[in-house]
Chain A
Amino acid sequence: MAQSIQETQEELIEEFGLFDDWADKYEYLIDLGKKLPSLSDDLKTEENVIKGCQSRVWLHAEKQGDQIVFEADSEAVIVKGLISMLIRVLSNHTAEEIMKADLYFIDQFGMSQHLAQTRSNGLLSMVKQMKNYALAFSAK
């Protein structure tokens, strides 16, 4: 059985806990961003753009069985690293699990103060959009 949303969050918190230095944390985040596969051009549509980010962010979702699978991309690699974590936490779960998810891991990274305001608006927009997809799929 796949791990729960909470288990993945705990795993991420543990991974980031290994770094004392902010630069190491960011290098890891940048690395995650670089490793996330790019979205194919036909999915980089205006429709898939998430508003409220300084760089363009695209999010695509589809239902496979009873689970929702997310794919996303961004022009900015740090944002892409953040998206990569959100996908790892939320993708391959049911609509109900995604809608109910409490994403506390963001606050525990020691990055939330840094990602506050303008930038985290982007992050919060992403979470909101992912939950909106879940809601839309559950209504079908």
Chain B
Amino acid sequence: MTLDIQKIRADFPVLDQQVNGSPLIYFDNAATTQKPKSVIDALSHYYASDNANIHRGIHALAERATTAFELTRTKIKEFINAPSSDQIILTAGTTGSINLVAQTFGRANFSKGDKILISNLEHHSNIVPWQMIAEEKGAVIEVIPVDERGVLDLEAYRNLLDTSVKLVAVNHVSNAIGTINPIAEMIQLAHVHGAKVMIDGAQSIAHLDIDVQALDIDFFAFSAHKLFGPTGVGVLYGKRELLESMPPYQGGGEMIKEVSFDGTTYNELPYKFEAGTPNIADVIAFSAAIDYVNALSKEALFTQELALLAYATEQLSTIPGLRIIGTAPEKIAVISFVMDGIHPQDLGVLLDKFGIAIRTGHHCVQPLMKRFELPGTCRASFAFYNTFEEIDLFVKALRRSINMLQ
């Protein structure tokens, strides 16, 4: 299946605009993806027609809202091939999902001297929640190193694994440099030593096929907004026996079975972990994003993105003094780069004047920037709606910006 990119672009209203007098070129997809019109319409339709609080109401609106809400859960289950919908916990985002696991699984399972393995590629969201619970429990965090290309050192990983490792928490894909980590192999190795594995899928969910059962993942987290859905919705998948054994996280409505002043019994999965009124509208609209991706061929989307990556890498390599950071053989469509003698922020400011949105800075991975001895990078990240012409315009604007700054 070949994609009709112009037809696809017409589905994303935000792309059709001028920024600072030039057509918008949106290359900040790793930060958040744009939304198809069907998602925007679903959001507005929900508030215009169905708005009601879910699960407890007996009236028609509550019924419709509940059905639509739970339908999203089913679609998520199918999207990542989870065995059952009640293993899909809806959260506020990837960060919320990771904190949930740290505060429940971590609180119940970590003790003094236990090890948590993370990697040098992690986003702060997959570092800080572990530091917080490790400090509380006296557990120790150890870090899997990366090489010059930004590839995890699997030999070092093997050496770090032993029976004191309770959890391995790594990202599937690096947000800053695009490396795809060999999670199948890493999970298998962790399981040999009895360690559980939490995969931060924030950057892989829109760019790789995810099958949580085939990969034997214990916990998988991602955000809807990086999969063309609304902000404020996240997913936590967990294996049933793990989720059932974990204590609840936040207390409140929805998560209880019975409350008395003598004590409370908790609801079943997934509601045990979903205290309070959830983000109903955005969860329902997320359904439209999943439908959108499913209606196109995932393989065709990924092929388009990799072609953009290859072309951009080739074009950027022709600029003297430009260095690409992150040259792993397996990457998604993310390019981080630095320019000799020019601060990334200056390039970001000037590219914005050309209507081009990239990200500059440390990308919430300060330890990785330290590893490469850089204050930050410029990062261009693509989605299937980006075009080769946009890359040409970007490279042209980049050359002009460099000339202005040198």
A interface vs B, CB < 8 Å? 22-23, 26-27, 30, 54-56, 75-79, 114, 119
Contact = CB atoms under 8 A, between A and B. Distances in A.
Contacts of B361: 54
Contact of A26 (B343, B345, B404): B404
Contacts of A30: 346, 404-405
Given A26-B350, A26-B353, A119-B349, A55 B343 contact: yes
Contacts of A76: 343, 345-346
Given A26-B349, A119-B349, 18 more contacts: A22-B20, A30-B346, A30-B405, A54-B376, A55-B343, A55-B375, A75-B343, A75-B345, A76-B345, A76-B346, A77-B342, A77-B346, A77-B405, A78-B345, A79-B345, A79-B346, A114-B352, A119-B345
Interface of B: 20, 342-343, 345-346, 349-350, 352-353, 360-361, 375-376, 404-405
Nearest to B360: A54
A73 to B, nearest CB: 12
Contacts of A27: 404
B8 to A, nearest CB: 30
B343 A77 contact: yes
A76 B348 CA distance: 11
B353 A23 contact: yes
A99 B177 CA distance: 44
B345 A55 contact: yes
A55 B361 CA distance: 8
Contacts of A114: 20, 349, 352-353
A114 B361 CA distance: 17
B346 A22 contact: no
Nearest to A34: B405
A52 to B, nearest CB: 13
A125 to B, nearest CB: 14
Contacts of A55: 343, 345, 375
A82 to B, nearest CB: 10
Contacts of B404: 23, 26-27, 30
6 contacts: A23-B353, A26-B350, A55-B375, A56-B375, A78-B349, A78-B350
A122 to B, nearest CB: 9
Contacts of B345: 54-55, 75-76, 78-79, 119
Most-contacted residue by chain A among B360, B361, B375, B404 (CB, 10 A): B404
Most-contacted residue by chain B among A22, A23, A55, A76 (CB, 10 A): A76
A78 B353 contact: no
Contacts of A77: 342-343, 346, 405
A77 B349 CA distance: 11
Nearest to A25: B353
Contacts of B342: 77
A78 B360 contact: no
B30 to A, nearest CB: 17
Given A23-B404, A27-B404, A30-B405, A78 B376 contact: no
Nearest to B352: A114
A25 to B, nearest CB: 10
B375 A75 contact: yes
B343 to A, nearest CB: 4
Contacts of A75: 343, 345, 375
Most-contacted residue by chain A among B345, B360, B405 (CB, 10 A): B345
Contacts of B352: 114
A112 to B, nearest CB: 14
B346 A78 contact: yes
Contacts of B350: 26, 78
Nearest to A75: B343
Contacts of A23: 353, 404
B108 to A, nearest CB: 38
Top 6 closest pairs, chain A to chain B, by CB: A76-B343, A76-B345, A55-B345, A54-B345, A75-B343, A76-B346
A55 to B, nearest CB: 5
A27 B166 CA distance: 55
A135 B64 CA distance: 61
Nearest to A22: B353
A29 to B, nearest CB: 10
Contacts of B405: 30, 77
Contacts of A119: 345, 349
Contacts of B376: 54
A22 B352 CA distance: 12
Contacts of A78: 345-346, 349-350
A78 B345 CA distance: 9
A27 B401 CA distance: 10
A140 B292 CA distance: 65
Nearest to A74: B343
A23 B375 CA distance: 26
Contacts of B20: 22, 114
A20 B361 CA distance: 30
Contacts of B346: 30, 76-79
